[in-house]
Amino acid sequence: MVTKSSILGLIAALAVVLIAVSAVGENVDSQVPKIGTVEESGFSQSCVETGCYTPSILTIKSGTVVTMTNTDPTGVHTFTSGNVDGFDPKPDGMFDSQVLMVGDAYERKFSQKGTFDYYCTLHTWMTGQIIVE
């Protein structure tokens, strides 16, 4: 015989399973943060004020893999760690995607906490920052 308490127990167990499954499903994309490039950022410096990478500042947790993709259909770009002094690039050797054609991507796992500047070696006005907490 099915009792009221056994039905309530079954419903409660099902609710827990559904909540757990939905929580995992919602966060699949957020587990791999993505950075892209602004369209025409290699031809025009108009993106400097708002950021030539999207997002231009990314905050992540230690151990996170970041996918950096050239999403600019008009040019080639790089994601190179370091900073730019005026227009003089200062790579620090932590990472370098090399030249990425449109649609190409580069992945990097960030295990060390800190703030990491990066830029495009071909267009030194393009700068960004990854903050690892």
Assign 2 to helix, strand or coil: coil
Q: Tell me the pLDDT tens digit for each residue of 83-119.
A: 999 889 999 999 999 999 999 999 999 999 999 999 9
The Cα 133–Cα 127 span in angstroms is 20
Q: Tell me the pLDDT tens digit for each residue of 27-63.
A: 444 568 999 999 999 999 999 999 999 999 999 999 9
- Tell me the pTM: 0.76
